[in-house]
Amino acid sequence: MRTVITLIYVVVFLIMSYPVSGIQWLIHPKDERRRKLMLLSYVHWGFRCVERLSGSKVTVKGLENIPKDRPAVYISNHQSIYDIVVTYSRIPGFCGFIAKKSLLQIPILGWLMKRLYSLGIDRSNLKDGLKVILKAIDEAKNGISICIYPEGTRSKDGEVHEFHAGSFKVATKSGCPVIPVAVNGTRDILEYHFPNIKKSNVTLSFGKPIETKGMSRDEQKELPDRVRDEIIEMMKG
């Protein structure tokens, strides 16, 4: 029953995003940023509802580590599609996700993601991947936070696998701090028994900012392993 109710809610939420966006345009026809802020609030609210419908308890740690006055690059492990659900609504301001290109091709969902600065990447196409990274760097320089799953795909065994170093260029080239993000327990909601949704105890931890301005080349090379190690430690705690 929980699965059916959640599915119905998601469909209604997506369909309603069009009229909601239309109302926002009528209220603020000349203010694009205000319209996007209203759409962001709608998405945050929607994700919190999906979270509650799963019946899961989410414990959040380290909110004080999130910068309130500047963009950041959030680097997270990836266990489940629910990672985005529990993470997105906790990040203040605009935040674009670098996600599989196929997600942005889903009707309505893809439109929503693009409106809120998410970027689709084809990891099998190096040229396409470079374009996406360069676009993400530009967005970060313009004040948009970026969230990246540098493992490249969801972990099937729950372990934190090797991070792709290219993902960290978004931080080092834009000068934004890196915020390590550890998500644990989301696999128990869906991945273990797909398509059924079951409640779980989820822990979401935000680590202390790692400043990238002035990093030496050696420090930049060590950054992926450094962040990965911090995420693994946070998952233990």
* Section 129-134 average pLDDT: 93
Q: Is 207 helix (H, G, I), strand (E, B) or coil?
A: coil
pLDDT digits (tens, 9 = 90+) for 135-188: 999 999 999 999 999 999 899 888 999 999 999 999 999 999 999 999 999 999
The verdict on whether omega for the bond into residue 67 sits within 30 degrees of 0, i.e. cis, is no
143 near 72, Cβ under 8 Å? no
What is the tens place of the pLDDT at every residue in 188-208?
A: 998 888 889 999 999 999 999
**Cα–Cα dist 101/99, whole Å:** 6
Per-residue tokens: 44: 């945050």
- Residues composing the chain: 237
Rounded to an integer, what distance in angstroms lies between the CA atom of residue 148 and that of residue 131?
Answer: 15
> What is the structure's pLDDT at 128?
87
Which architecture does CATH list for 56-236? 3-Layer(aba) Sandwich (3.40)
Domain-by-domain residue ranges, the chain?
Answer: 56-236
User: Do the beta carbons of residue 192 and residue 50 sit within 8 Å?
Assistant: no
Residue 19 has pLDDT above 90, yes or no: yes
DSSP H/E element including 117: none
Alpha helices in 79-123 (DSSP H): 82-88, 109-115
